[in-house]
Chains A and B, each alone.
Chain A
Amino acid sequence: MMKNSYKTTLGIVGFVVFLLILAGFQTAFLNGFIGVNLILILLLFLIIKQDIFLAVLTAGIGGLFIDTFHYSIFGTTPLILLALTLILITIKKEFFLTSKIELLVMAGVITVSLFRLLEFLIGNGLLFLKSANLESFGLYFWNIGFPTEIILTVVILIILNPKPNAKII
């Protein structure tokens, strides 16, 4: 019992360090090259695997790590990711509790679209409260970055091929 709890704690610490490295790679390398959000993909991967505890950690802590130089208020990205986690957990039974390719495609499209919609609503809302400044809807959806992110997310998800109920920690 004691040994198991020790292992779990160590696993969580290791996972947080992994999130730190992933966030560093995302912000220092990927963001300058291609528009794909690794934290979002990891979140979706974990939800499909039904590892909800790690998904919540990814949303909260991973979100905080990538938010350190977001253009919006500090804390916006983890809030969006936590809200997204809640929505994805609610709809996963109906939509994508499987690893069939067509359903992974649907999961990718839904997740990226929801993330951008929540970013528009929550991020914009907070920005409006702070500086009475509203951004256009098109800035989040009407650009090449949106379909590119969907395609890359789906491709990475298919490569990772998450299978439900295979616990990581």
Chain B
Amino acid sequence: MNKLTPIVFFILLLLILSFIFFSQSPQILLAQKLINEVLRPFESSISIVRNNLMFWQSVILNLKNIKKMNEALIDENLELYGKLEKLSELQKENRILREQLNLSKQNIIVKSAGIIGRDFQSNRAFLINKGSNDGIRNNMIVVAQGGMLIGKIIDTSYNTAKVRTILDTQSRIAAITADSNISGLARGLGSDIIFDLIAKNRVPEIGELIIASGADGLWRRNLIIGKVKEVKSDDSQVFNTAGIQMLVNFQELTDVFVIDQ
């Protein structure tokens, strides 16, 4: 066995280097997909256990808050009933206006998927249990409940797909503040995200929503990125920057939606 060790080492090294340097070749992609498919049954079953454990952990930890939250939700519910009535009136009005303007509704198909694997730093890449077999393709946008932007599909195999989250350092989104219309670039920092390239004379409000502007043609407009957490304005810098507070806890995320436009 000891004599074999250097040979095995060099074979593995050559194999891995070929994986890296020919990463786009069909054979390497096929090998990657095969490994994914072999791992999938383990990951699917383990992720079910994990999700159940996470659910009960959060129930136990938040038991005290649940009663308070329930009361608050009842009040909020009553308030929402009132708003809903107004909304249905607006909806009718909107429909009439759309018909008059001859606007067709955008054809959006949403597919739900479960997260079955995460990368070591936990928030930069996910693996979901839907793949090319379910119509998932590269560059499709992934959101959480409420239109919170999660990331983009970067790789698909038959039954799984890899999502690069907006926290990844390769992620850049043309963004805009929802109220004051200040435009900039939401940029992933690995474990955090910032709102960068804000014009020096514009300062967003703390707590203001930041949404995708759609100006880059890569991300759909109006998807929510987060809230302004803090604004950094330094005289020595050409642009202002703002920290973004994510509205979704990526670690607690178990299900996502893939948008097919």
**Residues of chain A having any CB pair with chain B under 8 Å:** 8, 20-21, 23-29, 31-33, 35, 37, 52-53, 56-57, 59-61, 63-66, 68-71, 73-76, 78-79, 82, 85-86, 126-127, 131, 133, 135-136, 139, 143, 145, 169
> Which A residues are CB-close (under 8 A) to B47?
28-29
Q: In the complex, A64→B18 CA distance in Å?
A: 13
Give the interface of B toward A (CB within 8 A). Answer: 1-2, 4-5, 8-9, 12-13, 15-17, 19-20, 23, 28, 32, 35-36, 38-39, 42-44, 46-47, 49-50, 54, 116-122, 124-127, 162, 164, 168-170, 189-191, 251
Which residues in A have their C-beta under 8 angstroms from that of B120?
Answer: 26, 31, 35, 37, 66, 70
CA distance A36 to B190 in the complex (A): 18
Are A131 and B28 also in contact (CB < 8 A) when A31-B117, A32-B251, A70-B125 are?
A: no
With A35-B122, A69-B162 as known contacts, state yes or no: A126 contacts B20, CB within 8 Å: yes
The chain B residue sitting closest to A56, CB to CB, is B9
Contact residue among A31, A63, A75 (Cβ-Cβ distance under 8 Å from B23): A75
Q: Give the complex CA separation of A55 and B112 in angstroms.
A: 40
| Complex: chain A residue closest to B250, CB-CB | A32
Max chain B Cβ within 10 angstroms of own Cβ: one of A56, A59, A64, A78: A56
Which of B4, B38, B170 is the one whose CB lies under 8 Å from A133?
A: B170
| B146 vs chain A, min Cβ distance (A) | 21
